[in-house]
Structure 1
Amino acid sequence: PQLTTGQRAYDIELARVNISGELLDLEAAGALHPSVDPIAFGTEICRRYQDLWEELTRTSVYPAGKYHYIDRRIRRLNDLGFDVAEMQIQHSSSGDTVTFVPKVVDAGHHHRQLLRLTGLDTEENQARRLLNDLESWMATQDDYAPGDPLGARTEVLAHRWVREVFRPTVRAVPQHLRGSMDPAELYHELLEHRWYLSERAQHDIGLDAAVKDFTARILPHPDPEAAPVQS
C-alpha cells in the first residue's frame, strides 16, 4: 500500500534489467546453460510477479450468491501458497464485491487454527478446506466483523458454523453409509464433491444438492474411477 503503481513498476523494471544483466554476464563467461535466454528469463520473472500481484490484490465482483466463484478464487490462492486471512463481501444490485486479505502460512497452520476455533482435529489439507468453508460462511453473516479474525466474535461464529452448518450436513448422510470416515473427513469429501459438481454446472449447486448426489451415487459405489453424475 505504500508504493504507487509507478513506483512498483519502476522496481519491477529495475529487477528485470538487473536479472537479465547478471545472466548476460554468466552467458559471456560460459557459465549459463544454453537453454536459458537472459532477456526472456528476466521478462518472464516480471510477468509472473505481475500475475501474482494481481491475484493477491484484486477485488472481485461476482453475481449475487455465486459462492462457487469465491471458492475458485480461494483455491487459486491456496495453490499459490497463500491462505485467506480475511474476506469481506459487500452486497449490491450489481453483484457481490469480494475483498480478500491473503497471508503466507506455515506448516500445520490450518490444523491448529481449525482445532482452536471449532475443536475439530483433522489433517492439514482437510483443515484448510474446512477453514475456507468457515471463512466463506462467516463473511455472509450480518454480525461478522472483518479485521479481527482471531477475536472472540470469530470464535462465536465458528461454533455457530459447527452447530448450524457442519453437524446438520454430516447428519444428512446416513450413518450406515459413512464407513470408516469420521465427521470432518466426511464433510471434507462433501465439499470436494460440491466443488466437482459446481465446476461441471458452472454455478454453485449448494451443500444440500451435493449431499444428495454424494449419498446416492458415491457412497454406495466407492470406486474412485466412477465419476459422479449431477442429479
Structure 2
Amino acid sequence: MSDTATVIEAPSTAQKLTAEFLGTFILVFGVIGTVVFAAGFGGGEGGLNVGFLGVALALGLSVVVGAYAFGPVSGGHFNPAVSFGLAVAGKFAWKEVGPYIAVQILGGILATTVLLGVLSVGPKFDIVIFTGASTGYDELSPGGFGLGSVFLIETVTTAVFLFVILGVTSARAAVGFAPLAIGLTLTLLALIAIPVSNASFNPARSIATALYGGGIAWTQLWVSIVAPIVGAVIAGLVYKLVFDRTKQLTA
C-alpha cells in the first residue's frame, strides 16, 4: 500500500496575468459600480445613497474577495503602484512588472466598459457620471481640494498601503490574514482620501474611469498615476532599508 501526494505546480505566467486581470476587474467593477449605481454623489442619483462610507467599504471588500480568490496565483496586486512598489522593495521581479501593469489596466478598462454598457440602456443614462467618479483636484475633488493637497494625500495613502502589504505578507506575519488586513486598510484610507481626491491609490482604477470621464479627467489623470507611484517607491525603499535588512553571518 503506497501513499500518494498531491503536487501543486507553480502558477504559469499566463495564469498569473489572468488572475491579475480578473482581480483588477473585480476591484474596479465593485468600486465604480457602487459609485455609479448606489453612492448618490459625483453626478449620480443612486437610490441607495450609500455615500462615501459605502464606496470605501466597496473598495475594501472588492480587494478582500479578489485577494483571497486570486492572491495564491498572482500575489493579488490588482494595482500598478503595488507591483512597482513591491519590485522596488525586492519582493517582485522587475521583468514581471510591465506585463502585470498591462493586464491590470485592461482589467480596469473592461470593468468600466461593462458599467457603461449597463448605464447605456438604463433610464437615466449620462456619461458625465464617469467624470464625477474620476480622481483629481479642483473640479474633480469632491471637497474642492487643489493639486497640492491631492498629490500629497495620494502619495501618503499609497505609501501607507504599501507598508501594510509588505508587513502582512512578510515571513513574520500571521498566515491567512493578509487579504483582510489589506482590505481594511484600503477602507480606512478611502474614508480619508475620497473627499480630497476621490481616492485612487491605483493608476489602473484612475485610467479606467478617466477613459469615459471626458477632457478634464484626462488632463488631471497624470496626478493619479504619478502620486501613487511616488508613494509606492517611497514605501518600497524605506521597507527595504529599514525592515528587510539581513544580517551577514560569518563562519
If the TM-score is normalised by the length of the shorter chain, which range does it land in?
under 0.3
Q: Which has the higher contact order (CA 8 A, sep 6+)?
A: 2
**Structure with higher strand content:** 1
Instruction: Compute the TM-score of the two structures, normalised by the length of structure 2.
Output: 0.25
Q: Name the structure where helix makes up a greater proportion of residues.
A: 2
Structure index of larger Rg: 1
